[in-house]
Amino acid sequence: MPNSSSTLLQRAEEALEMSHRRTRLYEAVLSSTPDLVYIFDLDHRFIYANKALLAMWGKTWDEAIGHNCLELGYEPWHAEMHDREIEQAVATKQAVRGEVPFTGTAGRRFYDYIFVPVIGADGNVEAVAGTTRDITERKEAEQQLAAAKAAAEAASRAKDDFLAALSHELRTPLNPVLLMAVEAERNPDLPASVRADFAAIRRNIELEARLIDDLLDLTRITRGKLRLERQALNVHELLRACVGFVQPEIEAHGLRLTLALDAAEHWVEADHVRLQQVFWNVLRNAVKFSLAGGDVIVRTANRDNQLRVEISDTGIGIAAADLPKIFDAFQQGREGNAFGGLGLGLAITRALVEQHGGRIVAESAGRGLGATFRFEFPLAKQSPPRPAAGAGSVGGGTPGQQTSRRILLVEDHEDTRETLSRLLVRRGHQVSPAGTIRAARALAASGEFDVMISDLGLPDGEGTELLTVFANTGRKPVSIAMTGFGMEEDIRRTLAAGFVAHLTKPINIADLDRLLTSLPVAEEAGR
């Protein structure tokens, strides 16, 4: 028995020593961590605090242990918050997390903490342990990041505003010039040589407008702000329309055009305006870079459930060294400096093709050997039914079939207002011009109008205000916006406000003719 007792005593002493050793190890670990470690009893008093916590308080063990948060100098709101959280941990047996500022010996700092219930052998909570970490540097970094993000967003908005204003200011002076140039070019009473001169003026103004559009498009694309309005499109019809746009240039350059639209399936899901822009860009390049007597060939075919479109020319070609960068912005690999432009068209084209889920590649055997641009687009899941024979477009008519309209023209740019008024009157319309919202209000109060053509940015307000004016009179004309603001968000905002169309300056009078012709006459509008 003595031997048995001594053995038990020895084992107890060894167990006690092991417990002390384990306690010293735990204490060494807890004392070396910069985190704050502590334990509350069920009366919310500290029964343990490591060295880091004592240092933050500026207190000794004896000064701290046995006291609650309020007694240790915590602000009342802070102490009450921790009391509630301790009670929550006890009641729910779940951890509680939070962040809080605290002013200690190191000044005001931010802390992240967690309270964890300590469950006894009987399943009841017997204490609440906690750890707290100083996250001041992280919070400061988050605040700096938030400030930087806010500054970047403000800069982005400022850039958008600047681009919109720049676009408006660049487009507006071009408007009266383009209006007069197109009118003169179409005037059969002028000598052919004079009309050709005006055609050259018209082409260069349209080129200037295209350069402005390219700059804005590239900005929107690089910032992910270009939205596509997808619909089922017949690519063959779209290609024929694009060829029609460049037909005068093809004839002027003495080129031969071949259309081989052989694809049996040729419907895709795409944005009509943007896909037209894609093909128009490449067709314009094919014409621009081809010499007299050359060929421009447009082909389509189906391959692997894709629609393939090829636009080829026999022009100046592309050097092998330039092919890898032909789609980079501001690159002019096809002797571009000799032909003008900013080198943005193909960069925009590739971005638009890729946004449609397609791909584009360029091929050339070298200088003087022409070039081919190949597009591939996924086919639409279901082709729309073919229109019935004899079905026509809504609103038919041609520019030559004008119906006289009573038009309120609201435009603050004097040259544009006078030029457009003169051209509209020449077409048999009755025009009442105004340069401000106030003048337009006065005209609206004293007369009736079939159509309102209005700028958006006017000296004394927004053109959209006039929609409300007419709505209140019960004599609401069909409203057309004519503005230098031409970004997608501008167009969406305009149409949402109630305008039936958005014409971006500089406008072609032929486009306005077609639009006015397509509008219902007064009786059809319920007048």
Q: Are residues 371 and 258 in the same domain?
A: yes
On whether residue 390 sits in a domain, the answer given is no
Helices (H) and strands (E) in the chain, counts: 15, 19
Q: What is the pLDDT of residues 422-442, one digit of tens each?
A: 999 999 999 999 999 999 999
Higher-confidence residue: 156 or 480?
A: 480
Give residue 524's pLDDT band: very low, low, confident or very high (50, 70, 90): very low
On whether residue 56 sits in a domain, the answer given is yes
On whether residue 164 sits in a domain, the answer given is no
| pLDDT above 60: residue 456 | yes
Q: Report helix angle 174-185 to 192-222, nearest 10.
A: 140
Q: What is the pLDDT of residues 141-198, one digit of tens each?
A: 999 999 999 998 888 778 777 777 777 788 888 889 999 998 899 899 999 999 888 8
Q: What is the pLDDT of residues 31-62, one digit of tens each?
A: 668 899 999 999 999 999 999 999 989 999 99
Q: What is the pLDDT of residues 210-260, one digit of tens each?
A: 777 777 777 777 777 777 888 899 999 999 988 988 888 899 889 999 999
How many beta carbons lie within 10 A of that of residue 111, not counting itself? 19
Q: Are residues 340 and 465 in the same domain?
A: no
Average pLDDT of the chain, as a whole number: 85
Q: What is the pLDDT of residue 71?
A: 95
Residue that terminates a domain, selected from 134, 149, 179 = 134
| pLDDT above 80: residue 509 | yes
Q: What is the pLDDT of residue 448?
A: 87
| pLDDT above 60: residue 1 | no
**H-type alpha helices, 172-223:** 174-185, 192-222
CB distance 455 to 410 below 8 Å: yes
Give residue 114's pLDDT band: very low, low, confident or very high (50, 70, 90): very high
What's 71's domain CATH number? 3.30.450.20
Q: Work out whether the CA dihedral 170, 173, 179, 181 comes out positive or negative.
A: negative
Residue with tokens 């603050």: 412
Provide mean pLDDT across the span 85-101.
95
Q: Are residues 257 and 301 in the same domain?
A: yes
DSSP string computed for 71-137 = GGT--HHHHHHHHHHHHHHHHH-S-EEEEEEEEETTEEEEEEEEEEEEE-TTSSEEEEEEEEEE-HH
DSSP string computed for 284-319 = HHHHHT--TT-EEEEEEEEETTEEEEEEEE-SS---
On whether residue 146 sits in a domain, the answer given is no
Q: Are residues 60 and 9 in the same domain?
A: no
CB distance 38 to 46 below 8 Å: yes
Distance of CA 243 to the CA centre of its chain: 30
Provide mean pLDDT across the span 200-218.
79
Residue with tokens 């408007």: 175
Residue that terminates a domain, selected from 81, 101, 134 = 134
Give residue 391's pLDDT band: very low, low, confident or very high (50, 70, 90): very low
Q: What is the pLDDT of residue 213?
A: 77
Q: β-strands 406-410, 430-434: how paired?
A: parallel
Three-state SS for 36? strand
Q: Are residues 415 and 432 in the same domain?
A: yes
Alpha-carbon separation of residue 22 from 58, 59, 117, 131 (angstroms): 27, 26, 22, 20
Q: What is the pLDDT of residues 308-331, one digit of tens each?
A: 999 999 999 999 988 888 888 766
Q: Are residues 237 and 360 in the same domain?
A: yes
On whether residue 311 sits in a domain, the answer given is yes
| pLDDT above 90: residue 87 | yes
Give residue 386's pLDDT band: very low, low, confident or very high (50, 70, 90): low
Cβ within 8 Å of residue 333, ≥6 positions away: 318, 319, 322, 323, 325, 326
Q: Are residues 16 and 58 in the same domain?
A: no
Give residue 209's pLDDT band: very low, low, confident or very high (50, 70, 90): confident
On whether residue 172 sits in a domain, the answer given is no
Q: Are residues 234 and 338 in the same domain?
A: yes
Give residue 400's pLDDT band: very low, low, confident or very high (50, 70, 90): very low
Give residue 508's pLDDT band: very low, low, confident or very high (50, 70, 90): confident
On whether residue 493 sits in a domain, the answer given is yes
Q: What is the pLDDT of residue 216?
A: 75
Q: What is the pLDDT of residue 272?
A: 87
Residue that terminates a domain, selected from 115, 134, 153 = 134
Give residue 97's pLDDT band: very low, low, confident or very high (50, 70, 90): very high
The region of weakest confidence among 75-79, 387-391, 463-467, 521-525 is 387-391
Q: What is the pLDDT of residue 4?
A: 67
The region of weakest confidence among 13-27, 97-111, 321-335, 430-444 is 13-27
Higher-confidence residue: 468 or 372?
A: 372
Q: How many domains does the chain have?
A: 4
Q: Are residues 340 and 297 in the same domain?
A: yes
Q: Are residues 251 and 304 in the same domain?
A: yes
Domain containing residue 20: 1-25
What's 251's domain CATH number? 3.30.565.10
Q: Are residues 46 and 121 in the same domain?
A: yes
Q: What is the pLDDT of residue 398?
A: 38
On whether residue 453 sits in a domain, the answer given is yes
| pLDDT above 70: residue 207 | yes
Distance CA 376, CA 300 (A): 10
Alpha-carbon separation of residue 112 from 49, 131, 139 (angstroms): 17, 8, 10
Give residue 385's pLDDT band: very low, low, confident or very high (50, 70, 90): low
Q: Are residues 19 and 51 in the same domain?
A: no
